[in-house]
Chain A
Amino acid sequence: MMTIFHFEFMRNAFLAATLVAALGGVTGFFLIQRGMTFAGHALPGIGFAGAAGAVWLGFSPLAGLVVFTLAGAGGIAKLKGDPRERDLHIGMILVTALALGLLFLSLYPGFAEPAYAILFGSLLGISQGETQVMALGSLALGLFFVFAFRPLLFASFDPQAAGARGVPTRTLGAALLVVTALVVALCAPITGTLLVFTLLVAPAAIATRLTASPLKAVLLSVALAEVLVWTALTLAYFWNSVPGFFVAALAFLVYLAVRLVEAYRHRRVK
């Protein structure tokens, strides 16, 4: 069993996954509370375009990811209007970004292997150098959540009261989008941009169904995310397959189980 840690790429993958799962678990909780999960769906696709562009120009795909997800977050933060309309705008920005990604892939001479790795995710996605960058980035984002946790919670649950008490709700909303963009960029090399959404949203969606206390929900969400990525990486290693699939499938099964148990209890109470 321990042979899995024999390879450097597996140690890198586990270290990086542990960090991003923790961040994803917290970020997802706030995205759900604020009804912003669609941003978690769109930002990975936007990031993919950046990765493909970076590969085409000969840069690191991770750099392209970060630049594009940040730009995307900036664009989304500027959008106004009711949630449904906002989601349609985001959807069309996503289509534009994906089309650009396709353009970069087509312009690349030959088979753009690193860009595909970002799209589908891979165990080999993270180098030693990138692990260090990811560790530093995760630390910074972790500190953001430690300091901003209470105001962010206040602003998410009761924006008007928070605003009246002098909490900078708009700034916090924009900051959360920026943090989401960075977390998406860190998750993408492992799960692939197609499946970042699951790691970001599913653990928090399950946790908020199991407990009403925000702190407990965040901790549970992080714990679930960790179990999810560790199991997925292990299965992907032994079956020589893509980790993203296992993340999505396990999350789906756990969510389904929680909902079924809920429905059963509901019926018995009635």
Chain B
Amino acid sequence: MTSFWTSALFWNAVAGATAAALAAGAAGFFLSLRALAFTGEALTDIGFAGASGAALAGVNPLAGMAGFSLLAVLGLGSLNDRLKGRDIETGIVLSFALGLGVLFLNLSTQSGASHASWGLGLLFGSLASITTGSVILAGVFCVVSLTVLALLFRPLLFASMDPILAQSRGVPVKALALGFLLILALAASVTLLVVGALLTSALLIAPATAALNFFRRPYQALAASLLFAVGIAWVGLAAAFFVPMGHIPASFFMAILSAGLYFASLPARSQRRRDTVRCQHSREVTPQE
């Protein structure tokens, strides 16, 4: 057991999961505020295509993911506002990306470059086989996304909560939207590495949405989102190492924990909504009294 605590395997998994949780918790906060959940999902599917393409070409999968999704953002970035709420367009792009990923996987297993179970790691996360190179790259992506989000925090918050007012006050709303999508692409890539393309919303959407349901103040909600994400990642990782039943991947525990957190936060949300309604109501009633 002592050798296990010092093994590179374990610390790589801890470092990778933490980097993903921090990046996803912060990017997810703005993702939820901007109601871009489906766009985030499309980005991770594009990242999946990038990673399986990278495997075929023999490049680091994380580099492939980030490269593909950054390119996709630059290509689709101009469509950002128009894509919002257009689930059909997003869905068709998303399916095409998934299809490409499936094709690349199929080609790389046929050519013997990788085993089919490797593709499963891309879809459902592969913390157990994360390499030191990927961990370093994940750390860099995490630091870059956190730094940029911290620097842009106030204007981005303003533009996310009230884009029209922000624009009239001279905030560069469009440039911020594109910048955010680029950061989202990085964060989504790191998340994909840890929990897989199909489960990214476990770290990207659930912690932030739950945090916004529990807390009204932006700083509190952001802090809660980061805490929730890191908590889910660590508890999930610990469960994977200590639950004795065979080899259940950490991403399973993370996904179940995050879904549980999300549904547990729903009563707080409806309570807050009732408070808001009551507040508006009393405001309307007061002048008559």
A251 neighbours in B (Cβ, 8 Å): 92, 95-96
Q: Would you call B205 an interface residue if the criterion is a C-beta within 8 Å of the partner chain's C-beta atoms?
A: yes
Quote the shortest CB–CB distance from A207 to chain B (angstroms). Answer: 12
Bound together, the chains give a CA A223 to CA B32 distance in angstroms of 39
Interface of B with A (CB < 8 Å)?
Answer: 35, 37-38, 41, 87-88, 91-96, 98-100, 102-103, 105-107, 110, 116-117, 120, 123-124, 198-199, 201-202, 205-206, 209, 245-249, 251-252, 255-256, 258-259, 262-263
Which secondary structure dominates where chain B touches chain A?
A: helix
A32 neighbours in B (Cβ, 8 Å): 88
Interface string of A230-253 (1 = CB under 8 A from B): 000000000011101111110110
Q: Would you call A139 an interface residue if the criterion is a C-beta within 8 Å of the partner chain's C-beta atoms?
A: no
A247 neighbours in B (Cβ, 8 Å): 99
A64-72, A95-103, A213-221: which lies at the interface: A95-103
Contact A252 B95 (CB under 8 A): yes
Contact A198 B92 (CB under 8 A): yes
Q: Would you call A130 an interface residue if the criterion is a C-beta within 8 Å of the partner chain's C-beta atoms?
A: no
Bound together, the chains give a CA A91 to CA B206 distance in angstroms of 10
Would A91 and B201 be within 8 Å (CB), given that A96-B256, A99-B251 are in contact?
yes
Q: Would you call A105 an interface residue if the criterion is a C-beta within 8 Å of the partner chain's C-beta atoms?
A: yes
Interface of A with B (CB < 8 Å)?
Answer: 32, 37-38, 41, 45, 84, 87-88, 91-93, 95-96, 98-99, 102-103, 105-107, 111, 116, 119-121, 192, 194-195, 197-198, 201-202, 205, 240-242, 244-249, 251-252, 255
From B251, which residue of chain A is reached at the shortest CB distance? A102
Contact B263 A92 (CB under 8 A): yes
Contact B38 A245 (CB under 8 A): no
B92 neighbours in A (Cβ, 8 Å): 198, 201-202, 205, 251-252, 255
Would A37 and B87 be within 8 Å (CB), given that A242-B106, A252-B92 are in contact?
yes
Task: Specify which of B94, B249, B252, B258 lies most central, judged by the most chain A CB atoms within 10 Å of its CB.
Answer: B252
Quote the shortest CB–CB distance from A270 to chain B (angstroms). Answer: 17
Would A120 and B248 be within 8 Å (CB), given that A88-B209, A111-B117, A201-B92 are in contact?
no
